[in-house]
Structure 1
Amino acid sequence: MLILIVGLVIFFAVHSVRLFIPDWRKMAVTKAGLMTWRVRFGMLSLLSLGFIVMGYGQARLAPVWLWFPPVHMGHVTSLLMLVALFLLFASIVPKTMMKKVTGYPIYLAIKVWAFAHLLSNGNLADVLLFGSFLVWAIVSYAVFRRRDRKAGVKIEKASLRFDLIALTFSVASWFTIVLFLHEAVIGVAPFH
């Protein structure tokens, strides 16, 4: 469990600096250069993800159960993941209406992903992993939306056709994950 916690702490420390020091990235790039900043940020991100994956895998070998979710919650989680994937792709595809309306669909995607997985997983490692991501996404979304409103930031150009592209990618990804990847990588079939 300690490895999982260390990974989460590193991940959130690296990914939360802009919450508290908005110009940090610009200062770091000015001081060290763009490539150096990217390498450092990327290495810390990979290190934290490695710890998270390793720690979560170890914690699953000896789970500490807090509750036992009903079996049908796995189906609810799978359906919510379609929403999360749409929000994810809406943040990647440029000029989506979802991005114009919400500002940061990536944080909404993380919220839905984390909440969905909390519904169908009841051990301590799950609560640490998904609960911490849920709290982080809620805080990050609120901070960045407040900053944008204060600064008067608005996304002007957007088209529903880009949302349809995001939806297409999300449906294809969802089927791939549900039918193949989730069980192969995580060891759990979403529809069992």
Structure 2
Amino acid sequence: MTALVIGLVLFIGSHSVRLLASDWRSATMARLGEKRWKAIQAVVSLLGFGLILWGFSAARLDSPLLWQPPLWGRHLAGLLMLPAFILLVAAHVPKNALRDRVGHGLVASVALWALAHLLANGRVVDVVLFGAFFVWALLDFFSLRRRDRLAGNVRHDGSVRNALIAVLAGGIVWAFFAGFAHAWLFGVRPFG
């Protein structure tokens, strides 16, 4: 579990510097240069992600069960993943109305992913992993939305056509993941 926690601190911490220490981040980036800052942040993130994967897989084997998730929790989790995948795709489709409305779809997607997996899993290691990501994503999402409001950042140039493309593509990715990839990667069928 130690590797998982260290990985979470590194990964989430590297993605929270702007949230927690914006002035320090700006000063350090000015001193190091943007490319060097981003390279260091990428290395820390990748190291953290690797530790998360390794730590989670190791801790899963003997993690105590806190509660037995109900069967409907797995089905609800599978359904919640549909908007999570749509928001994930919408965050990367340029000029779409969905991205304009949500604001920070990638972070919202992470929050839905974490919530879905908290509903479907009841071990200590699950609560640590998905709970950490859920809390971080909520704090980050509302912080980013607040920063946008204060800066007057409002987008209204996104098209409904591109939003529909994001919804369709997100739905296709969700169907592939729910029907095949999740079982292949993690040994669990969301609707099986």
- Tell me, in whole angstroms, the C-alpha distance in 2 between the residues paired with 1:30 and 1:185: 41
Percent identity (aligned)? 41
- Tell me, in whole angstroms, the C-alpha distance in 1 between the residues paired with 2:16 and 2:181: 29
Quick one: structure 1 residues 28 and 162, their matched pair in 2 at CA, closer, same or farther if it must change by over 3 Å? farther
How do residues 1-192 of structure 1 correspond to structure 2 at under 5 angstroms? 1-22=1-22, 26-192=26-192
- Tell me, in whole angstroms, the C-alpha distance in 2 between the residues paired with 1:111 and 1:94: 22
Quick one: structure 1 residues 28 and 173, their matched pair in 2 at CA, closer, same or farther if it must change by over 3 Å? farther
Compare 178-187 and 56-65 and name the one that shifted more.
Answer: 178-187
Tell me, which stretches of 5 or more residues in structure 2 are unaligned? none
Quick one: structure 1 residues 168 and 26, their matched pair in 2 at CA, closer, same or farther if it must change by over 3 Å? farther
- Kindly state the Cα deviation for residue 37 of structure 1 after the two structures are TM-superposed: 2.5
- Tell me, in whole angstroms, the C-alpha distance in 2 between the residues paired with 1:28 and 1:156: 33
- Tell me, in whole angstroms, the C-alpha distance in 2 between the residues paired with 1:178 and 1:28: 42
Q: Deviations over 1:129-157 (max 9, x none)?
A: 11111110111111111111112111131
- Tell me, in whole angstroms, the C-alpha distance in 1 between the residues paired with 2:102 and 2:176: 27
- Tell me, in whole angstroms, the C-alpha distance in 1 between the residues paired with 2:140 and 2:35: 25
- Tell me, in whole angstroms, the C-alpha distance in 2 between the residues paired with 1:23 and 1:90: 30
- Tell me, in whole angstroms, the C-alpha distance in 1 between the residues paired with 2:38 and 2:20: 20
- Tell me, in whole angstroms, the C-alpha distance in 2 between the residues paired with 1:135 and 1:179: 28
TM-score normalised by length of structure 1: 0.93
- Kindly state the Cα deviation for residue 45 of structure 1 after the two structures are TM-superposed: 0.9
- Tell me, in whole angstroms, the C-alpha distance in 2 between the residues paired with 1:149 and 1:137: 18
- Kindly state the Cα deviation for residue 23 of structure 1 after the two structures are TM-superposed: 5.4
What SS does structure 1 have at the residue aligned with 2:68? coil
- Tell me, in whole angstroms, the C-alpha distance in 1 between the residues paired with 2:41 and 2:175: 32
- Tell me, in whole angstroms, the C-alpha distance in 2 between the residues paired with 1:178 and 1:102: 24
- Tell me, in whole angstroms, the C-alpha distance in 2 between the residues paired with 1:40 and 1:89: 26
- Kindly state the Cα deviation for residue 191 of structure 1 after the two structures are TM-superposed: 1.9
- Tell me, in whole angstroms, the C-alpha distance in 1 between the residues paired with 2:170 and 2:89: 6
- Kindly state the Cα deviation for residue 179 of structure 1 after the two structures are TM-superposed: 2.1
CA RMSD of aligned residues (A): 1.6
TM-score normalised by length of structure 2: 0.93
